[in-house]
Every structure is written in structure tokens, then in C-alpha cells.
């Protein structure tokens, strides 16, 4: 008799599989206020590792971390017309504080362009103060009507970068560098997720931006997920908040700005990119636990051996956990580590001791075979890198095999039923985009003929990538 599956199979019901996995792998719970979430330790460890890797790249890009208040006077939001229009429907409003009704209600930040510009306008005086490159790690609130854990939550965690530059060109180059060297590099080389880098259409742009660069990825069910965005803000917020500098030529000029964000949504992307019917698969470079060494039984020599193997792997630079909780049945622990997606499991029982071997189970590549204990420290780092590469390859192959060239709206909708469609933007245009939207299909981004990020929407040969999206 076949074992009952721990999770609803992906093929049966992908959204249900996603919820099952989040619950069974103890990644998160729903919060008591609708749309909020509790990120449990194992889920939070994924986010912490994302933060570490991203933070290093952000600092390398020259930005410094700071912290701005989460309470923003309602009046700030209204200063940039498109911005308030975009965010007003999603705001949480604090009307009472310290037991009294407030004179002016404050909103909980949905994003921080407004409050940050208020301070940029104080801090920036001369061209010597530019570029001003700031990042913050924070929680933000956008009231969600159709919440889904990690993907769309009323409160989420993110980083938001905000920069001010002396010239249009400098701001543009910086937004692009964040797009490729920070987000693109991190998602490709750490998350092992294939991302398409492109630009958003006018309809999909950030409220207040003159250009939005995006990274789009295909999930396991063929739908798209926006993994991060980098915006050119032009001088829109600078004019609304009077952020000016004294140029070399002693003229007062408005600064040119960028903003860019990535969030706990990436955890959802990780799950839906790499997860399978047995659970999560965590890419080794991200994993807080790359290898777990399990004692099958609680005999003293077994316990001693798993600790010895753990120490040897740690010395080899591997992030390892020793699981010697032998009061819990081995099978239950093995299923749990599989659910949690730890790349390699090394299992040691009494019989292995005699043979000088251990069973090595590979969560990502699959398979299980005995290996010499003495060889472990030498082979494990290489296996982890193989697994890292495999996840990226699988993610890329999925996108390639499930993307169709389409010539008209009907074909676009059909392609979006199982994957993505690629259609010349000149043929689709804003009018076609509007019609697709009626059927729940959106233009995820526009890419150039050669796959690069085009400088404008209208560059000849531009391709629109259309899909259903989370």
C-alpha cells in the first residue's frame, strides 16, 4: 500500500500544495488580523539568510542602512499625486494615540518615498552631498483584500532603497545596477531562481515612477511572480518635497531619484520555484542548514559518530545540524527534514558503523546511496554546488519549455493558461494590454529582442512577456 502523501500533490491543486507545505514545514501561520502572518523560525531563517546576502550586496553598491519612522503624516502622501492615488486604497490609518484622538491621522508606511524625501530635502545641500544612497530594512503595511502568506500580506518585511543623484543619467545607471548586480545576481546565484529582467509598461509602473525595472520568475504552476523592482523616480518626489542641491554651476536643481525594493515575498517565490510533492528544496547557498546528520538510533557509538561527522563537515565550512533526537522516530524526522528541504541528509545507524559508511540522501538531485564516512568532508561541498546549479537549471528549463511565441490575444491567453507568452509589444500595445487584463492576464515586462532590458517601451523588436501572476 502506498503511503498517503504528506502534501496535496502539486498537480492536483497547486495553491493547496503551497498552503500545505507552509503549514507542514512550519514556515508560517496566518496572523489574527486578516492578511497578516506569523513567520515561524524555519521560515524566518530563510528570510534572515536572504537579508544577509542582500545586505552585503547593497552595501557593496555603496548604500548605507538607516531607519525612518513607520508613522507618516497623512498629508505627506498627498503631495505626489500619482503616489497617493496608487496607495490610498491600501492604507492603514492610526487615528488614536496615547488615549486621545490625533489632530492629524497618521498612516502606517506602505513604502517610504514621502517621509524619506522630507529628510533628503534637509540633508542635501550641495552636489557634494550626492549621490545620497540609503537603504532600510523595515515592515510595511498595504491592506490586502486577497491575502496569501508570503505573496500578498497586509504587513510584510522588506528592504527599500532610496537614492538621490545629481543627474538623470546617474540615477538611471544606479537603478539599473541595483536591478542587475544586486537583485539579479542574488536571485540567480543565491536563490537559484531563473529571473527575466525587463521593464514594466506604463500601466504596471510604481505609483510616482518614470520607469520601473522588474525581475519576473516562473513558478512551478507556470504563473509569474514579480520578485523585485527598481524604479527611476525622475524628479517627481524631488519637486513634491523640494529636494534641491546647489550644482557646480551654483544653480539650484532638483535631484534625480531611484527607489527599489524586495520583500518576504521572495520566500514565497522560493517555495513555488523549487518545492516539489515532498516539500521544499532550499538552495545550498541560501540554506542556513545545508546538511543534517541523523542518528537512526540512540546507541552511544552512533551518537558519537554523527557528532564526529558534524564536526568534520563544520570544519570543512559546511553549515550543518546534528539530529540526535532519537526519542523521536527516525522516519518522522527524515520526513520532516525532507519537508524542510535541507539539501543533504547523512544517516547513520549501527550497521553503518561496522561498514564505515553512512547513507547519503540528496533532497535536490534525488537518490540515496552509501558513502564512506571518511570521504564525506571532501565530497559534500562539491555536491552542494552541483545541487545549487541544478535548481537554477530546472527553473530555467521550466521557463523555457513553458514559454510560447504568440501572435495575437487569443494565443496569448492560451499560453498564459499553462505558462508565459511572448508577443511583439508593437503588436500588443496598451490597448491589447487592457484587453488581456480583462481576462486576468498581464504584461509582466518588456524585454528587447536580444533579451536585454530595453531603454524605452517602443524600441524596435521589443517583446512583451504576458502571463497570469501572483
Please select the residue that binds a copy of itself; options are 20, 80, 113, 118, rule is CB under 8 A: 118
Q: Is 99 left (phi over 0), alpha (psi -120 to 50) or beta?
A: left
How near is the Cβ of 57 to a copy of itself at its closest, in Å? 16
Q: Is 368 strand, coil or helix? A: strand
Q: Is 95 in the site for a copy of itself (CB under 8 A)?
A: yes
Does residue number 39 form part of the binding site for a copy of itself (CB under 8 A)? yes
Compare residues 66 and 455 and give the one whose CB is closer to a copy of itself: 66
Whose Cβ is closer to a copy of itself: residue 159's or residue 403's? 159
Measured over all CA atoms, what is the biggest interatomic distance in the chain, rounded to whole angstroms? Answer: 82
DSSP 298-314: --HHHHHHHHHHHHHHH
Tell me the β-bridge partners of 371.
358
Residue 242 binding a copy of itself, by CB under 8 A:
no
Q: Which of 362, 366, 369 is nearest to 290 (CA)?
A: 362
Choosing from 33, 332, 354, 456, the residue that interacts with a copy of itself (CB under 8 A) is 33
Per-residue x/- marks for a copy of itself, 43-62, CB under 8 A?
A: -xx-xx--------------
**Whose Cβ is closer to a copy of itself: residue 16's or residue 122's?**
122
If binding is defined by CB under 8 A, does position 72 make contact with a copy of itself?
Answer: yes
List 9, 12, 56, 64, residue binding a copy of itself (CB under 8 A): 64
Nearer to a copy of itself, 325 or 368 (CB): 325
Please count the residues of the chain.
470
**Residue 358 near a copy of itself by CB under 8 A:** no
Q: Are 235 and 257 in contact (CB under 8 A)?
A: yes
Peptide bond before residue 131 is cis, with ω within 30 degrees of 0: yes
Question: Rounded to whole angstroms, how far apart are CA atoms 28 and 34?
Answer: 14
Q: Which is nearer to a copy of itself, 142 or 274 (CB)?
A: 142
Q: Which CB atom, from 120 or from 206, has the smaller least distance to a copy of itself?
A: 120
The yes or no reply on residue 36 touching a copy of itself (CB under 8 A) is yes
Note whether 257 and 163 are within 8 A (CB): yes
- Report residue 228 as a C-alpha cell: 523585485
Query: Sign of torsion, CA 36 72 67 98?
Result: negative
Tell me which residues in 302-331 interact with a copy of itself (CB under 8 A).
Answer: 327-328
- Does 249 contact a copy of itself by CB under 8 A? no
The single-letter DSSP state of residue 165 is E
Tell me the Ramachandran region of residue 362: left when phi exceeds 0, alpha when psi lies from -120 to 50, beta otherwise.
beta
Q: Please pick, from the candidates 16, 128, 351, 368, the single residue that binds a copy of itself as defined by CB under 8 A.
A: 128
Distance linking the first and last C-alpha atoms of the chain: 37
Nearer to a copy of itself, 144 or 386 (CB): 144
Count Cβ atoms within 10 A of the Cβ of residue 424 and give its class: 0-12 exposed, 13-18 middle, 19 or more buried: middle
Q: How far apart are CA 231 and CA 215, in angstroms?
A: 12
Q: Compare residues 77 and 196 and give the one whose CB is closer to a copy of itself.
A: 77
Question: Should residue 93 be labelled a site residue for a copy of itself when binding is judged by CB under 8 A?
Answer: yes
Rounded distance, CA 444 to CA 216, Å? 7
In the bound state with a copy of itself, the residue whose beta carbon lies nearer, of 67 and 168, is 67
Among 117, 154, 230, 259, binds a copy of itself (CB under 8 A): 154
Among 54, 134, 218, 358, binds a copy of itself (CB under 8 A): 134
| Residues contributing to the site for a copy of itself (CB under 8 A) | 29, 31-33, 36-41, 44-45, 47-48, 64-73, 76, 88-99, 105-106, 108, 115, 118-119, 122, 128, 134, 138-139, 141, 143-145, 154-155, 157, 327-328
Amino acid at each position: 500500500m502506498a503511503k498517503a502523501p504528506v502534501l496535496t500533490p502539486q498537480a492536483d491543486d497547486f495553491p493547496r500544495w503551497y498552503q500545505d507545505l507552509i503549514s507542514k514545514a512550519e514556515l508560517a501561520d496566518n496572523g489574527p488580523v486578516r492578511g497578516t502572518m506569523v513567520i515561524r523560525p524555519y521560515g524566518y531563517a530563510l528570510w534572515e539568510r536572504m537579508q544577509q546576502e542582500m545586505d552585503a550586496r547593497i552595501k557593496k553598491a555603496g548604500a548605507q542602512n538607516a531607519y525612518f519612522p513607520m508613522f507618516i503624516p497623512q498629508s505627506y502622501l498627498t503631495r505626489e499625486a500619482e503616489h497617493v492615488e496608487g496607495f490610498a486604497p491600501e492604507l492603514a490609518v492610526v487615528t488614536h494615540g496615547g488615549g486621545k484622538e490625533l489632530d492629524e491621522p497618521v498612516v502606517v508606511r506602505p513604502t517610504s518615498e514621502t517621509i524619506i524625501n522630507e529628510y533628503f530635502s534637509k540633508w542635501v545641500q550641495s552636489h557634494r552631498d550626492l549621490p545620497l544612497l540609503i537603504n532600510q530594512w523595515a515592515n510595511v503595511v498595504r491592506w490586502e483584500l486577497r491575502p496569501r502568506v508570503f505573496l500578498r500580506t497586509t504587513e510584510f518585511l522588506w528592504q527599500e532603497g532610496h537614492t538621490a543623484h545629481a543627474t538623470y543619467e546617474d540615477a538611471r545607471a544606479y537603478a539599473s545596477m541595483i536591478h542587475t548586480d544586486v537583485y539579479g545576481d542574488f536571485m540567480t546565484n543565491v536563490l537559484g531562481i531563473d529571473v527575466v529582467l525587463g521593464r514594466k509598461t506604463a500601466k504596471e509602473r510604481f505609483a510616482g515612477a518614470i520607469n520601473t525595472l522588474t525581475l519576473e520568475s516562473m513558478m512551478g504552476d507556470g504563473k509569474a511572480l514579480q520578485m523585485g523592482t527598481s524604479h527611476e523616480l525622475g524628479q517627481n518626489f524631488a519637486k513634491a518635497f523640494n529636494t534641491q542641491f546647489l550644482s557646480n554651476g551654483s544653480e539650484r536643481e532638483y535631484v534625480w531619484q531611484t527607489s527599489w525594493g524586495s520583500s518576504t515575498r521572495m520566500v514565497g517565490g522560493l517555495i513555488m520555484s523549487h518545492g516539489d510533492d515532498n516539500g521544499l528544496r532550499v538552495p545550498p547557498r541560501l540554506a542556513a542548514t545545508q546538511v543534517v546528520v541523523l542518528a537512526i538510533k540512540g546507541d552511544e557509538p552512533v551518537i558519537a559518530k554523527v557528532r564526529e561527522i558534524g564536526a568534520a563537515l563544520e570544519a570543512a565550512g559546511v553549515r550543518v545540524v546534528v539530529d540526535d533526537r532519537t526519542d523521536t522516530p527516525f522516519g518522522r524526522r527524515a520526513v520532516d527534514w525532507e519537508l524542510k528541504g535541507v539539501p543533504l541528509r547523512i544517516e547513520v545507524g549501527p550497521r553503518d558503523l561496522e561498514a564505515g559508511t553512512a547513507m547519503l540522501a540528496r533532497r535536490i538531485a534525488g537518490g540515496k546511496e552509501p558513502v564512506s564516512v571518511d570521504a564525506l568532508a571532501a565530497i559534500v561541498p562539491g555536491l552542494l554546488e552541483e545541487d545549487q546549479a541544478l535548481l537554477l537549471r530546472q527553473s530555467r528549463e521550466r521557463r523555457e519549455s513553458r514559454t510560447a511565441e504568440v501572435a495575437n490575444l487569443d494565443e496569448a491567453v492560451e499560453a498564459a493558461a499553462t505558462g508565459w507568452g511572448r508577443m511583439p509589444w508593437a503588436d500588443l500595445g496598451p490597448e491589447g494590454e487592457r484587453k488581456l487584463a480583462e481576462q486576468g492576464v498581464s504584461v509582466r515586462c518588456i524585454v528587447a529582442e536580444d533579451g536585454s532590458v530595453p531603454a524605452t517601451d517602443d524600441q524596435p523588436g521589443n517583446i512583451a512577456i504576458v502571463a497570469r501572476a501572483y
